[in-house]
Amino acid sequence: MLNIIKKTLVELENNSDKMTDKELKRLEKLKIYFEKNNYITNKELQDLLEVSESTAKRFLNKLVDREILRAEGERKARKYYCKG
C-alpha cells in the first residue's frame, strides 16, 4: 500500500509535471498516516494537514486523478484508500 506513495514521490521528483513543495510535504504526512490507517476522510485530512475543507478536497481529488488514492462512497461518507 505504501509502495505506491513512495513510488509516486520518486516519480514526481523526476517528472516535469511536479507537485509543489507544499503538496509533497502534505503527501509525506499522508504516507505516515497510511502506515497506521487503511483510509482517510476529508475531515481527517483537514485535521491532519490543518487546511480548509476545500483545500483538502482539491488535494484528495488531485491524488485520485493521479491514481495515488481511490475514492469510495458518496459525499460526506466518502473514504479515500491508498491504491496498490
Its pTM surpasses 0.85: no
Among the listed residues 49, 48, 40, 36, the one whose alpha carbon sits nearest the alpha carbon of residue 69: 40
Give me the half-sphere count of Cα atoms (radius 13 Å) on the Cβ side of residue 36.
Answer: 4
Which DSSP symbol is given to 38? S
φ and ψ at 72, to 5 degrees?
-135, 140
Write out the chain's pLDDT in tens, 84 residues: 566 666 665 555 555 456 788 988 999 999 899 999 999 999 999 999 999 999 999 999 999 998 889 999 988 889 999 876
Residue 1, CA distances (Å) to 5, 21, 36, 70 in order: 8, 23, 11, 12
